[in-house]
Amino acid sequence: MTDHSTDISPGTQPRIPHGIRWSAATAAFQIEGARDQGGRGRTIWDDFVDTPGAVIDGATADPGPGSYHRFHEDVDLAKRLGLDRYRFGISWARIVPDGSGTVNRQGLDYYSRLVDALIEAGVTPFPTLYHWDLPSPLEAAGGWLNRDTAYRLEEYAAAISGHLGDRVKHWYTINEPAMTALEGYAIGTLAPARQELFGALPAAHHQLLAHGLAMRVLREAGAEQVGLTNNHTLVRPQSDSPEDMMAAGAYNMIHNRVFADPVLTGQYPELAALGLPEMPTQPGDMELISAGPDFYGVNYYNPTTVAAAPEGSPLPFDLVPTPGAETTGFGEMWPIVPEALTAMLTGLRDDYGDALPPIIIAENGASFPEPDRAAKIDDTNRISYLAGHIQAVANAIAAGVNVEEYTVWSLIDNFEWAAGYTQRFGLTHVDYETGERTPKVSFDWLCGVIERSRT
């Protein structure tokens, strides 16, 4: 087989597929700050951070990196890195402050300026419509458990694409519906902090429906490339005992297949086999959800080892540490296993075959303990994580998987949800007192990788 890759140098340098596009990602709530400015409405994450004890260090995401006022610096970083595209989040509550109804001109103008700056810098804007920050009035009406929320997202998609659609041609609809459904509505570790267990499943369907409705609207506004991005993990049983294997199958269904199958095959997996309730589908829903995305977004961080649930557990599985793996700043449940990414990607290809459109790795990266302020962070651990995972993508491509784009999470350090500022994922260090951005050694390293991949 011809090797279409570049070997940069030994050690931490991956062999890079020629022609792959490079991106880095952020999300609105995690970087913008300015929560009370520009006519922005309130979201479930404002409610979450204002709940005493909900966020580890009591951080409120404001000012955080302060990108609402400093976005030119982020655009400059994206340009210096040599990115083809920048994946950023649009805040629903800046565009439609109450979640429905009146559109906020200041919000439209803010993202318009950001898009213009990116285009001027030669970086393609690739926004995400919904990255977890649901307007609070919609949560008060039932949030993602309420089917109506999907239509409200459609309305918001029409407002923002009507304004940016002349310049923005590439869109993510929804980020990680699994995390919103499972952690937001089932167990409550993320906003809106509900604990519905399997009663949370409608939140999965309504987000997927919102994806389908938004895709239609965005295409009508001239979009050339639209898709969603799912969080995927490679699920492995702790042992080959029938109990562990069954638990792993159940977790694989809940984390991966409930979100991938409907988009790629137009059907949910057999939920009844696990004793789970059916999804609240209505005629036409599955056609909308599976209406041929232009790409399939994959956010990947780690594999998951699963054991049989202990007696009395409300869940049919138990997530356990992966033996023998190094871990990131998040500890033992975030093992570093790059080859699991290759296996996950080839598994998607094997499971979905021709139904799988080109894959975009929409997030991949790691947090490590790093000082709050520093001249230059020498993050060799991050370089090694990224090198291993870029190599894993190259290996999947060599095995015949069509991966078109690789995105690092994240361009800059930012607010890591319930973990506050305790986890830094950035290629760029952010001093949260001054907002100053300082590229880490991994930034310079990735710059070189990108440059060499084009020669």
- Amino acid letter for position 116: D
**CA 445/CA 402 separation, integer angstroms:** 25
**Considering beta carbons, is residue 285 or 363 the nearer one to ligand IFM?**
363
Residue with tokens 């479930």: 44
Size of the site for ligand IFM (CB under 6 A): 8
Catalytic residue status for 363: yes
Give me the catalytic one of 73, 363, 370, 416: 363
**Considering beta carbons, is residue 48 or 409 the nearer one to ligand IFM?**
409
CB of 421 to ligand IFM, least distance (A): 12
| DSSP symbol at 280 | -
CB of 272 to ligand IFM, least distance (A): 30
363 binds ligand IFM (CB under 6 A): yes
416 binds ligand IFM (CB under 6 A): yes
CB of 363 to ligand IFM, least distance (A): 5
Residue with tokens 């990116």: 118
CB-count exposure of residue 19 (10 Å: 0-12, 13-18, 19+): exposed
Q: What is the DSSP string of 369-389?
A: ---SS-S----HHHHHHHHHH
Residue of 8, 27, 78, 160 that binds ligand IFM (CB under 6 A):
27
Cβ 108 vs Cβ 147: under 8 Å: no
CB of 348 to ligand IFM, least distance (A): 18
**Considering beta carbons, is residue 247 or 359 the nearer one to ligand IFM?**
359
Residue with tokens 């949370």: 200
299 binds ligand IFM (CB under 6 A): yes
Q: What are the residues facing 232 on neighbouring strands?
A: 300
Give me the catalytic one of 139, 176, 370, 405: 176
**Considering beta carbons, is residue 32 or 363 the nearer one to ligand IFM?**
363
Catalytic residue status for 243: no
Show Cβ contacts of residue 53 under 8 Å, excluding neighbours closer than 6 positions.
Answer: none
**Considering beta carbons, is residue 62 or 98 the nearer one to ligand IFM?**
62
Q: What is the DSSP string of 39-67?
A: T---BHHHHHHTSTTSSTT---SSSTT-H
CB of 409 to ligand IFM, least distance (A): 5
Chain residues binding ligand IFM by CB under 6 A are 27, 30, 176, 299, 363, 409, 416, 425
Active site (catalytic) residues: 176, 363
